[in-house]
Structure 1
Amino acid sequence: MTTATQTTSIVQFDYARPLWRRVLATREFAIIGLLVLVLVVASLTVQGFAQPLTYNYLLLDIAPVLFIALPMTLVMTTGEIDLSVGSMAGLASVTTGVLVQSGAPFEIAALVALTVGVVGGSVNGYLVTVVGLPSLAVTIGTLALFRGIAVGMLGTTAVTEFPEFWTALAKAKLAGTSIPWIVIPFLVLLVIFVVLYHFTPFGRGIFAVGLSSDAAKFSGVNVERTKFIVFVLAGFVAALAGVYYTLRYSSARGDNATGLELQVIAAVVLGGVSVFGGRGKIHGVIAAVLLIGALSSALRLEGISSAIINIITGGLLIISVVGASVFAWAKTRRSAPTPARAAAASSS
């Protein structure tokens, strides 16, 4: 049986199921269900978890991951990866701190930091799309490069003097609620990325590139431009997260946001984005970020060490990847035509 025939069989099998099963019986809704289960169990069993202050700190802590997970979803859907987002956030943090320390207004410093993010993303995009290097090798290199520049700019010192208005705003709550203000800019970005990813020709091009770059080219998709843009978006949003990180902790250091890229990639893969590209949904990624954050928060309140939390998170990630592969294999087997049907199809 040809690949085209197999694909057609799978599509026909999918649409033969009721709509509610096609919508709800998905990996993304499984993650949402697991998130709800964790929240309910933690609220009932973990002392102090079901408190407004706990949710406030939870959202403040995971905000950088939520931000960067949006463009990372696009990057990984094209079949690429960006390991430099954590060090880019650190470099943006240091850039902001150095400029503020030298007397520049915070607003100007933040704009320069965002520009640095765009430049860094452009470097990644250029090396991947024009030079033709693999994104894994490129972003490992720029991870070290950006982090080295950040550490070189400040050394072991830290900048801790920032305008009180901005540091207070980064930790402020919406009036009458325990929801941090940072949720508002995140929701704005979320709407932009959902529309871009799921409802535009550019978004459809992202999926096409991830499924097959050659087929996407024959379909009229500018593969190089598409990949370049998603890397630039990743650099920009990583820099934005770095500026927030600086204000959240009132500190600009060369080691800020270390390891953030691993948290982001773990959440994106757990949320249903294929490591091979061509598949993903943003609501699954957001649910995965919240799931990892809620689980980590509950375990910390129970006195569980960070090492154990990392083991549990890694285990969840491995199970999700293996489970997705097994599910895809079973789906293909189930939708494959029987010998009798194949013979009937060939004779007709």
Structure 2
Amino acid sequence: MSTPVLTRPDGQARTYDAYAQPWWKRTLLTREMAIIALVVAVYAWSMGNVANFDSPLTLYYLFLDVAPLLLIALPMTLIIITGEIDLSVASVVGLSSVLVGVLVQDGGLSVPVAALIAIAVGAVCGAFNGFLVAYVGLPSLAVTIGTLALYRGIAVGILGTTAKTDFPEKWTDLSKERIIEGQPYPMILIPFLVLLLGFVLLLHFSPFGRGVYDIGLNDEAAQFAGVDVARTKLWLFLLAGAVSALAGVYFTLRFGSARGDNANGMELQVIAAVLLGGVSIFGGRGALHGVVAGVLLIGVISSAMRLEGQTVNVINIVIGVLLVLSVISTNLLGWVSGQVRSRTRGSRPSTSRAQSGTSSTTEG
């Protein structure tokens, strides 16, 4: 009897045999755990070979730098698992930054009120993306390229080339505050961990999360199985807009500057981190612990290379090469395993025919 096989769009295949493995193999021998091991290895190497990398101050600034990526990567993971993509997240960061600056300095609002308004506007921007993708049926790549330019244009149009820099000191200090004095863990990790817990429960422990995976595997089959595909995508894009706006508020307070070009190009770093973390660009596969490891991997590499005096262009080249290799390795491993399985299945019938022939000769 042949083993039932489900072939995925990225060339990988899942069989019942794969789930017959011991739990520790299914848990440890995964792409996500490989990325976590790589993060640990790169961090350990940098500690011993990069000057000042072992300083607690380096780890502190590493967390400050990757905090916006960590936040935005959470909803981006769910969007890519459904087979969609959102390239407008960085422009929402810039737009929310401008709104906070204008509302606080020109409108006289407090920072918390301005932040809530900016997050609400970010949610509306994300919902607009989701409506065009889920209900109008436009491709997410085209939609979010368009809204990337739209939201960035609005942000730059509001402030032009000027910047709002006079923010209350207690809020700018809070954005850089440490959880425990003397420790390298900034306060921004607390809202991130709260959101991480929420997204983990949503993706991995709820019917909504199972629907997200179903959509990524086959959205038509998910629709017939009772998943509201359009509503699910709408909510995911809305969450991406709201969380991106939250990252924009943090970005503004941390640097004390509201500009229309804040976070320019950050969307590529977020997508690179998500794909490095084991999420399939074809949808249907991925886990949040791998994505967090992917973000930290980018952060560790960037921090180590900056301490070594490398330019931003060189750092981007290294990260781009890692991203390409991660995508190629997934397809290559899927192709190799498929070839092995096909050869194994092809050899079984000949063995059966040989045994049948031998049996017939004996009976004759």
Q: Structure 2 length normalisation: TM-score?
A: 0.91
Which deviations, in whole Å up to 9, do the C-alpha atoms of 1:187-236 show, x marking residues without a partner? 00000000001000000000000000110011000000011010000000
The CA deviation at 1:13 is: 2.6
1:291-302 correspondence runs (5 A): 291-302=297-308
SS in 1 for 2:243: helix
Residue from 331, 335, 338 that aligns with 2:345: 338
Is 1:145 aligned to 2:150, yes or no?
yes
For residues 103 and 296 of structure 2, the distance between their equivalents in structure 1, rounded to whole angstroms, comes to 33
For residues 228 and 15 of structure 2, the distance between their equivalents in structure 1, rounded to whole angstroms, comes to 26
Q: Which residue of 1 aligns with 2:93?
A: 89
Q: Which residue of 2 aligns with 1:6?
A: 5
The CA deviation at 1:308 is: 1.1
The CA deviation at 1:340 is: 5.1
SS in 2 for 1:338: helix
Contact 1:90 1:254 in 2 (8 A): yes
For residues 139 and 92 of structure 2, the distance between their equivalents in structure 1, rounded to whole angstroms, comes to 19
Query: Is the alpha carbon distance of 1:249 and 1:16 closer, same or farther for their aligned partners in structure 2, counting shifts above 3 Å?
Result: same
Q: Which residue of 1 aligns with 2:223?
A: 217
Q: Which residue of 1 aligns with 2:282?
A: 276
1:316-335 correspondence runs (5 A): 316-335=322-341
Is 1:73 aligned to 2:99, yes or no?
no
Q: What letter matches 1:117 in structure 2?
A: G
The CA deviation at 1:43 is: 0.2
Query: Is the alpha carbon distance of 1:340 and 1:92 closer, same or farther for their aligned partners in structure 2, counting shifts above 3 Å?
Result: same
Contact 2:79 2:237 in 1 (8 A): yes
Contact 2:98 2:159 in 1 (8 A): yes
Contact 1:75 1:81 in 2 (8 A): yes
Structure 1 spans left out of the alignment, 5+ residues: none
For residues 331 and 96 of structure 1, the distance between their equivalents in structure 2, rounded to whole angstroms, comes to 51
Query: Is the alpha carbon distance of 1:204 and 1:257 closer, same or farther for their aligned partners in structure 2, counting shifts above 3 Å?
Result: same
Residue from 107, 131, 135 that aligns with 1:130: 135
The CA deviation at 1:22 is: 1.8
The CA deviation at 1:335 is: 3.7
Which deviations, in whole Å up to 9, do the C-alpha atoms of 1:19-65 show, x marking residues without a partner? 32221111111111110111100000101001100000000011000
Structure 2 spans left out of the alignment, 5+ residues: 8-12, 353-364
Residue from 143, 160, 163 that aligns with 1:155: 160
SS in 1 for 2:270: helix
SS in 2 for 1:7: strand
Residue from 253, 259, 265 that aligns with 2:259: 253
The CA deviation at 1:328 is: 1.5
Q: What letter matches 1:112 in structure 2?
A: I
Q: What letter matches 1:152 in structure 2?
A: G
Is 1:49 aligned to 2:53, yes or no?
yes
Is 1:121 aligned to 2:126, yes or no?
yes
The CA deviation at 1:16 is: 3.5
Contact 2:280 2:286 in 1 (8 A): yes
SS in 2 for 1:82: coil
Query: Is the alpha carbon distance of 1:175 and 1:341 closer, same or farther for their aligned partners in structure 2, counting shifts above 3 Å?
Result: same
Residue from 179, 185, 188 that aligns with 1:179: 185
1:285-296 correspondence runs (5 A): 285-296=291-302
Is 1:29 aligned to 2:33, yes or no?
yes
Residue from 63, 87, 97 that aligns with 2:67: 63
SS in 2 for 1:220: coil
Contact 1:170 1:182 in 2 (8 A): yes
The CA deviation at 1:89 is: 0.5
For residues 83 and 328 of structure 1, the distance between their equivalents in structure 2, rounded to whole angstroms, comes to 27
Q: What letter matches 1:156 in structure 2?
A: T
- In the alignment of these two chains, the number of paired residues is 344
Among the aligned pairs, what percent are the same residue?
A: 57
Residue from 16, 39, 43 that aligns with 1:39: 43
Q: Which residue of 2 aligns with 1:266?
A: 272
Contact 2:4 2:15 in 1 (8 A): no
SS in 2 for 1:10: strand
For residues 43 and 349 of structure 2, the distance between their equivalents in structure 1, rounded to whole angstroms, comes to 48
The CA deviation at 1:238 is: 0.3
Q: Structure 1 length normalisation: TM-score?
A: 0.95
Contact 2:174 2:187 in 1 (8 A): yes
Q: Which residue of 1 aligns with 2:357?
A: none
For residues 198 and 317 of structure 1, the distance between their equivalents in structure 2, rounded to whole angstroms, comes to 25
Which deviations, in whole Å up to 9, do the C-alpha atoms of 1:288-346 show, x marking residues without a partner? 100010011001101111111111100000111000111122233334452354586xx
The CA deviation at 1:5 is: 3.6
Contact 2:32 2:277 in 1 (8 A): yes
For residues 334 and 134 of structure 1, the distance between their equivalents in structure 2, rounded to whole angstroms, comes to 35
For residues 21 and 49 of structure 1, the distance between their equivalents in structure 2, rounded to whole angstroms, comes to 34
The CA deviation at 1:117 is: 0.5
Give the aligned CA root-mean-square deviation in angstroms: 1.8
